[in-house]
Amino acid sequence: MGAPEHDIFQAIADPSRRAMLKLLAEGELPIAAIAERFPISRTAVNKHLHVLANAGLVDSRRVGRQTRYRLRVEPLKQIGDWLSFFEGYWDDKLSALREWVEEEERS
Protein backbone atom coordinates (compact mmCIF):
# COMPACT_ATOMS: atom_id res chain seq x y z
CA MET A 1 0.00 0.00 0.00
CA GLY A 2 1.32 3.46 -0.92
CA ALA A 3 1.23 6.64 1.10
CA PRO A 4 -2.18 7.58 2.52
CA GLU A 5 -4.22 9.92 0.33
CA HIS A 6 -6.07 11.56 3.23
CA ASP A 7 -4.89 13.07 6.49
CA ILE A 8 -5.51 10.78 9.47
CA PHE A 9 -6.78 13.69 11.55
CA GLN A 10 -9.33 14.63 8.89
CA ALA A 11 -10.42 11.00 8.69
CA ILE A 12 -11.09 10.73 12.43
CA ALA A 13 -12.75 14.15 12.63
CA ASP A 14 -16.13 12.64 11.75
CA PRO A 15 -17.99 10.93 14.63
CA SER A 16 -19.36 8.20 12.33
CA ARG A 17 -15.86 7.30 11.17
CA ARG A 18 -14.59 7.20 14.76
CA ALA A 19 -17.48 4.88 15.63
CA MET A 20 -16.60 2.66 12.65
CA LEU A 21 -13.01 2.43 13.85
CA LYS A 22 -14.21 1.38 17.31
CA LEU A 23 -16.48 -1.21 15.75
CA LEU A 24 -13.66 -2.59 13.60
CA ALA A 25 -11.40 -2.75 16.66
CA GLU A 26 -13.58 -5.73 17.66
CA GLY A 27 -12.66 -7.54 14.44
CA GLU A 28 -13.05 -7.72 10.69
CA LEU A 29 -16.58 -7.13 9.38
CA PRO A 30 -18.35 -7.10 6.02
CA ILE A 31 -19.78 -3.78 4.91
CA ALA A 32 -23.35 -5.05 5.43
CA ALA A 33 -22.65 -5.73 9.13
CA ILE A 34 -21.10 -2.29 9.51
CA ALA A 35 -23.95 -0.54 7.69
CA GLU A 36 -26.63 -2.13 9.88
CA ARG A 37 -25.07 -0.47 12.95
CA PHE A 38 -25.46 3.07 11.60
CA PRO A 39 -28.56 5.18 10.86
CA ILE A 40 -27.16 6.20 7.48
CA SER A 41 -27.31 4.62 4.04
CA ARG A 42 -24.98 1.85 3.00
CA THR A 43 -23.64 4.25 0.36
CA ALA A 44 -22.74 6.76 3.09
CA VAL A 45 -21.08 3.99 5.13
CA ASN A 46 -19.12 2.98 2.05
CA LYS A 47 -17.95 6.58 1.55
CA HIS A 48 -16.82 6.80 5.19
CA LEU A 49 -14.94 3.51 4.86
CA HIS A 50 -13.31 4.82 1.68
CA VAL A 51 -12.02 7.89 3.57
CA LEU A 52 -10.70 5.65 6.36
CA ALA A 53 -9.03 3.37 3.81
CA ASN A 54 -7.45 6.32 1.99
CA ALA A 55 -6.03 7.52 5.32
CA GLY A 56 -4.56 4.05 5.89
CA LEU A 57 -6.78 3.34 8.90
CA VAL A 58 -8.64 0.34 7.45
CA ASP A 59 -7.91 -2.39 4.95
CA SER A 60 -10.48 -4.12 2.79
CA ARG A 61 -10.49 -7.49 1.10
CA ARG A 62 -12.94 -9.42 -1.02
CA VAL A 63 -14.28 -12.68 0.36
CA GLY A 64 -16.62 -14.12 -2.23
CA ARG A 65 -19.20 -11.41 -2.91
CA GLN A 66 -18.47 -9.53 0.32
CA THR A 67 -16.04 -6.73 0.98
CA ARG A 68 -14.68 -7.11 4.49
CA TYR A 69 -12.97 -4.33 6.45
CA ARG A 70 -10.47 -4.45 9.28
CA LEU A 71 -8.74 -1.87 11.41
CA ARG A 72 -5.09 -0.99 10.81
CA VAL A 73 -3.75 0.20 14.16
CA GLU A 74 -0.27 1.21 13.00
CA PRO A 75 -1.35 4.62 11.62
CA LEU A 76 -3.08 5.41 14.92
CA LYS A 77 0.40 5.73 16.44
CA GLN A 78 0.70 9.07 14.62
CA ILE A 79 -2.27 10.35 16.63
CA GLY A 80 -0.82 9.00 19.87
CA ASP A 81 2.53 10.65 19.14
CA TRP A 82 0.84 13.96 18.43
CA LEU A 83 -1.20 13.81 21.65
CA SER A 84 1.77 12.73 23.76
CA PHE A 85 3.63 15.86 22.63
CA PHE A 86 1.02 17.92 24.51
CA GLU A 87 0.82 15.69 27.60
CA GLY A 88 3.89 17.35 29.10
CA TYR A 89 2.35 20.75 28.54
CA TRP A 90 -0.85 19.78 30.36
CA ASP A 91 1.07 18.01 33.12
CA ASP A 92 3.08 21.21 33.71
CA LYS A 93 -0.06 23.38 33.73
CA LEU A 94 -1.89 21.03 36.11
CA SER A 95 1.12 20.90 38.44
CA ALA A 96 1.29 24.70 38.47
CA LEU A 97 -2.44 24.90 39.21
CA ARG A 98 -2.11 22.37 42.05
CA GLU A 99 0.78 24.36 43.55
CA TRP A 100 -1.21 27.60 43.27
CA VAL A 101 -4.29 26.03 44.92
CA GLU A 102 -2.19 24.54 47.72
CA GLU A 103 -0.49 27.93 48.25
CA GLU A 104 -3.90 29.65 48.38
CA GLU A 105 -5.16 27.10 50.91
CA ARG A 106 -2.14 27.79 53.15
CA SER A 107 -2.78 31.56 53.01
Domain ranges within the chain, ordered by starting residue: 1-73, 75-107
Using CB atoms within 10 Å of the CB of residue 57, give its burial: 0 to 12 exposed, 13 to 18 middle, 19+ buried.
buried
Model pLDDT, residue 1? 46
Is pLDDT above 90 for 102?
no
CATH 3.40.980.10 is the classification of domain 1-73: no
Is pLDDT above 80 for 94?
no
Please give the helix or strand (H or E) that residue 62 lies within, else none.
strand 58-63
